[in-house]
Amino acid sequence: MPRVKRGNKRKEYRKKILKRASGYFLTKSKLYQAAEEAVERGLKFAYTGRKQKKRQFRSLWIVRIGAAAKLNGLSYSQMIHGLKLAGIELDRKILADIASQDAAGFTSLAGQAKAALQQAKTSKPVAA
């Protein structure tokens, strides 16, 4: 089997790592081994951050919907349940946008949710 020295490929790979580490503090931006560890750690944080971003936005949307629902006399859970009963299938992102941009539109949605809740309450037989 022929001998492989890896000269150019090794230099290219190390340069790529050091370029990614530029701006890091002290040896983390200068020395390959320290830079490699720092870059790996940074990539791990970036990966988890992309997942957390989705959670945080959903949480923000829920807070916005809940605040707008309170102004219309409903809790968040009642609002979502009423919309489901009314057959309105809007996701939380769109509902939060409507709540912040179009108060009148959200009020009409809340009215439909209230009506659906009332109808479900009256049509439901009472179990003894």
- Residue 38 CA: distances (Å) to CA of 43, 50, 84, 123: 9, 18, 48, 63
Per-residue pLDDT, averaged over 32-49, amounts to: 98
Instruction: Report pLDDT digits (tens) over 44-73.
Output: 999 999 999 999 999 999 999 999 999 999
- Residue 61 CA: distances (Å) to CA of 55, 57, 79, 96: 10, 6, 13, 5
In percent, the amount of the chain with pLDDT more than 90 equals 88
Q: What is the pLDDT of residue 123?
A: 86
Predicted TM-score (pTM) of the model is: 0.79
Residues 6+ apart with CB under 8 A from 82: 74, 110, 112, 113, 114, 115, 116, 117
Specify the range with the lowest mean pLDDT, choosing from 5-19, 29-43, 76-90, 95-109. Answer: 5-19
Q: What is the pLDDT of residue 79?
A: 97
pLDDT band at residue 127 using 50, 70 and 90 as cut-offs: low
Instruction: Report pLDDT digits (tens) over 73-125.
Output: 999 999 999 999 999 999 999 999 999 999 999 999 999 999 999 999 998 77
What is the C-alpha to C-alpha distance for residues 95 and 8, in angstroms, rounded to an integer?
55
Q: What is the pLDDT of residue 4?
A: 82
Q: What is the pLDDT of residue 7?
A: 80
Spell out the domains of the chain, with CATH numbers in brackets.
8-52 (no CATH), 54-119 (1.10.1900.20)
